[in-house]
Amino acid sequence: MSRIQACFEQLNTSGRKALIPYITAGDPNREVTVPVMHAMVEAGADIIELGVPFSDPMADGPVIQKACERALESGTSLRDVLAMVAEFRRRDDRTPVVLMGYLNPVEAMGYETFADACVSAGVDGVLLVDLPPEECEDIVPRFRQRGVDLIFLVAPTTTDERIRRIGEAASGYLYYVSLKGVTGAATLNVEEVASRVETIRNLAQLPIGVGFGIKDAASARAVSRVADGVVVGSALVNQIAANAQRTEAIAPAVAAVLADMRSAMDE
């Protein structure tokens, strides 16, 4: 059983929902990321999504685009991100870590090499934003054979047929994008999310994490009532950006936001 599957099963047994924070690796520098990862776990994170910085993050809004810019300026590469996970694993062999990014850096490294590196570093799952399920037939087995979950996005506009196809290719969980647009955008309609999540549940037998539009404890609590997991990114990356010049304040600031969300979700 994968760490991700075990995590969701344990949460389900205890009647709790997964809190899944996202940060961009190497933002604002490479030394900050691992301490922030540990701080997030201590604040109540169940799974960590670690963004691989990329020069053209087309699914992300300005907040995470700027985070990618800061990380790239600090020299962060895909191999650096894998090294960060390996360092994190020296203290934490329980919390699942998912790498979230785009195809180009992975293709440049090579799928086999990347999948092997994920196993060596202790990566549990990979979400490649621009990998469509229609084109992953040769890719999925390379990760599945190594016990690395391949996670896919589901959008409000995704057809039922495509959700079924995604459900067959994916493992770990599905990431439901609750808004039409980019990360950090617009306002959440929880009733619409609840309806869509129910549809997805009937088509794919995997836990569902909901992201985009989770800005505070109230929205995290609301979404946790209808989904298996709550993904929060821009609200945390904003804290990192605000403290980029005094990096010692980043981990406490991020942890404070997450702790409020965890408390609200557990009420």
Catalytic positions, written as ranges: 49, 60
Strand partners, 12: none
Q: Are 237 and 63 in contact (CB under 8 A)?
A: yes
User: How far is 41 from 262, CA to CA, in rounded Å?
Assistant: 11
Residues with Cβ < 8 Å from 69, sequence gap 6 or more?
none
- Determine if residue 100 is left, alpha or beta; phi over 0 gives left, psi from -120 to 50 gives alpha, anything else beta: beta
Quote the DSSP letter at residue 181. Answer: S
Give all strands (DSSP E) within 186-234, no chain letters. Answer: 208-211, 229-232
* 3-state SS track over 96-141: CEEEEECHHHHHHHCHHHHHHHHHHHCCCEEEECCCCHHHCCCCHH
* Cis peptide bond N-terminal to 28, omega within 30: yes
Q: Are 239 and 21 in contact (CB under 8 A)?
A: no
Q: Are 11 and 18 in contact (CB under 8 A)?
A: yes
User: How far is 236 from 63, CA to CA, in rounded Å?
Assistant: 10
Quote the DSSP letter at residue 55. Answer: S
Quote the DSSP letter at residue 213. Answer: S
